[in-house]
Structure 1
Amino acid sequence: MTLACALPHAAHASDETVEITRAYIEAAEEGYRLRADYAFELSHGLEDAVQSGVSLHFTTEISFTRPRWYWFDEKAVTAKRTHKLWYDVLTRQYHVKIIGSVAQPFQSLDEALFFIRRPTRWVVAPRGALKVGETYNVSLRMGMDKDYLPKPIQVNAFNNSEWRLSSNKKTFQYRAE
């Protein structure tokens, strides 16, 4: 999908949904990488929460299943990756950290959100995890993970539509190379 095709999708994203505007799998030396782009905006309530010191976590989940006629589909690979977004009042910088790696500072919320919306290619499966030549159904979902919120905020988040920020499950096929 070209950039011109991806931009109209971003305009349709509402405050309460994440739209997966592009998603595909690439075969590489180190394994199979996900390339995905997302379109979403934070509501005013979420922006205020971040600027007040609440960290937001955005989790991407992916799974590869292989259809079988004689039994349930074979679950070949499942993976999950979480981005943490927070604001540091002392340095007046936003930070984004992929859980398990080093945080990156950003001068504005828009820059930090751009990093989350257009993540780096992520190795979701090592070489050999998929059978070459087989076709897999790939399911992808991305959204704000309320499980990481402090408990008092979790209660409000489950009852407040401003805190429901997630995508529908996107499913596509991939033939392993």
Structure 2
Amino acid sequence: MDSSTACSKSVLDHLRRWLALLVFVPVLAWAAEIDITEPQLTPSDDGYVLSADFKFELTPRLEEAVTKGVVLYFVADFELTKGRWYWLDEKLVSRSQTYRLSYHALTRQYRLTTGGLHQSFPTLSEAMQVLSRLRNWTVIDKADKSVRPGEAYEASLRLRLDIAQLPRPFQISALGNKDWSLGSDWKMWPANLLPAVPPAEAK
């Protein structure tokens, strides 16, 4: 092998290592910054609801941004899968719920919005306390016939800051920037579903 060929191979190997590093940097930047504890699926009148706690704090940059009027969007993702020995696991349920955290300068109130529910708080810490507690989110509908109590399933949950919904200039700043990256790993646990709550009998 001549020197020019060896040099070219060395350059290509060096470039591959850098590309691999760039691919994994965004993942490493946010891994495990949000810790998920005590996830639980329980039966309800509508099917099955999910509750869990998220342990995390906003970075100083994110606190400054929301206080100056930048809206932060957090997304909770839930999946329910069933193992198959002959193929990949079967995904039975996939749900997402968005939380909108904002600050209104005129009222000096922080607002947390989930679907049609709007809550206002005098301080950011109070808004974060509510955001950190996921309660009674219906993730499996009663009418879903693909999920049957008594069978073995695996549930997965994560929470992430949705950078794609930031204003365009902030999206560019957030790329590969740990100050703007916030999320959890997938929290997985075996889901042993109890029978759903039967409808109340008419009196």
TM-score by length of structure 1 reads 0.87
Secondary structure in structure 1 of the residue aligned to 2:106 = coil
Higher helix share goes to which structure?
2
Structure 1 partner of 2:100 = 84
| Contact 2:82–2:89 under 8 Å retained in 1 | yes
C-alpha separation in 2, matches of 1:24 and 1:175: 10
Matches for 1:1-177 after TM superposition, within 5 Å? 17-98=33-114, 100-129=115-144, 130-177=147-194
One-letter amino acid of the counterpart of residue 97, structure 2 = R
Q: Give the Å deviation of 1:18.
A: 0.6
CA distances 1:86-131 after superposition (whole Å, capped 9, x unpaired): 0000000000001x21311111001100110013210001114211
C-alpha separation in 2, matches of 1:163 and 1:103: 25
Return 21-30 or 74-83, whichever deviates more: 21-30
CA distances 1:60-84 after superposition (whole Å, capped 9, x unpaired): 1010000112222111100000100
C-alpha separation in 2, matches of 1:33 and 1:64: 12
One-letter amino acid of the counterpart of residue 116, structure 1 = L
CA distances 1:112-165 after superposition (whole Å, capped 9, x unpaired): 001100132100011142112111111111111111101110010113111111
| Contact 2:73–2:99 under 8 Å retained in 1 | yes
TM-score by length of structure 2 reads 0.76
C-alpha separation in 2, matches of 1:171 and 1:107: 35
C-alpha separation in 2, matches of 1:116 and 1:147: 20
Show structure 1 runs of 4+ deviating over 4 A: none
Q: Give the Å deviation of 1:176.
A: 2.3
CA RMSD of aligned residues (A): 1.5
Name the count of aligned residue pairs: 162
C-alpha separation in 1, matches of 2:142 and 2:153: 15
| Contact 1:22–1:38 under 8 Å retained in 2 | no
One-letter amino acid of the counterpart of residue 135, structure 1 = A
